[in-house]
Amino acid sequence: MVAPEIEFYLTAPNVDPTQPLAYPQAKNGRSEAGQSAYSMNMLNELAAFWDEFRAALDTLGVVTDTWIHEAGRSQYEINLMHGDPVDVADQAFLFKYAAKEIAIKHGLNAVFMAKPISGQPGSSMHLHQSVVDAAGKNIFSNADGSESVKFRQFIAGLQTYIPDMMLIFAPFINSYRRFVEGSQAPVNLQWGLDNRTTGLRVPISGPAARRVENRIAGADANPYLAIAASLAAGLAGMEEGLTASEPIEGNGYEHDHDLASGYQAAHAQMKASATCRRMLGEKFVEGYVSTKWLEYQNFQNEISAWERRFLVPQA
């Protein structure tokens, strides 16, 4: 069972991609100044968009739960209800498509880049995961409500195998800008109880809802691939009887930054991984890393504003 939390920004139209994204004008005539996290005010200011978006999701069969304003200026998060992984991936795909199309109708831009605006939080696609048996019972909990052996084995699988599949959870050059200490994004695969500074979080819940939240995936990740990779890693942990690290308390940013340092490192690790090829298939991995390398070569042909700003006068 999987439930994604999808974050995104609403911006003004960006007709010139050489210019930074700008915040949209609300119905009060102003752009958001910030400090609206978890507030209803800015949701109300863009009510025409939200009303049509919600109606579209209902029509498309996308089942949502919580709708909130997130920590960034004009950043929002909507949670999808838990369900079958393929069904949920379908809904996540339709969710993103509908958001973009309806935003355009309202003079907005729905942006799912992992780090679209400098100085603002990145956007994630957290994946809540549990495993149920044929009777629908959560196998992460024992009959007495305590955590099962399978529960920590699943966590161990995520800790062991996510590094090899990082290019799926963070598929673009921009994706790695999100993993910054103190930014509400993780920098490692430590885990803890209700700890939002770790890559893997176990929310407080009753035994029937015991689950693991994978906080690595960005909003830019392909939901089909990210869900498949995360479940494959957890399944391997259970099948191989792996052992998870001990849960941490306190600040996860004080532990080692052990995620891939950037796109090139993640690409090289996935390309060389026999585990990825075993889990995801030889043809898929070869095709995926080849495509991603073409994207990187294309990126290398672009000269950024940072380079012009700092290197023209210094080099």
**3-class DSSP assignment, residue 108:** coil
88 and 82 Cβ atoms separated by less than 8 Å: yes
pLDDT value of position 150 = 98
Q: What is the pTM of this model?
A: 0.96
Residue with tokens 């109880």: 193
Cα–Cα distance between 308 and 312 in angstroms, integer?
Answer: 5
Q: What's the pLDDT score for residue 36?
A: 85
Q: How many residues does the chain have?
A: 315
Q: What pLDDT is attached to residue 87?
A: 98
CATH architecture of 134-302: 2-Layer Sandwich (3.30)
What does each of the 315 residues of the chain score in pLDDT, given as a tens digit? 999 999 999 999 999 998 999 999 988 888 988 778 888 888 888 999 999 999 999 999 999 999 999 999 999 999 999 999 999 999 999 999 999 999 999 999 999 999 999 999 999 999 999 999 999 999 999 999 999 999 999 999 999 999 999 999 999 999 999 998 888 899 999 999 999 999 999 999 999 999 999 999 999 999 999 999 999 999 999 999 999 999 999 999 999 998 998 999 999 999 999 999 999 999 999 999 999 999 999 999 999 999 999 999 999
Question: φ, ψ for residue 212 (rounded to 5)?
Answer: -120, 135
Q: What would the CATH number be for the domain defined by 1-123?
A: 3.30.590.10
Backbone angles phi, psi at 167, to 5 degrees: -65, -20
Q: Where in the chain is the domain with CATH 3.30.590.10?
A: 1-123, 134-302
pLDDT for residue 182: 81
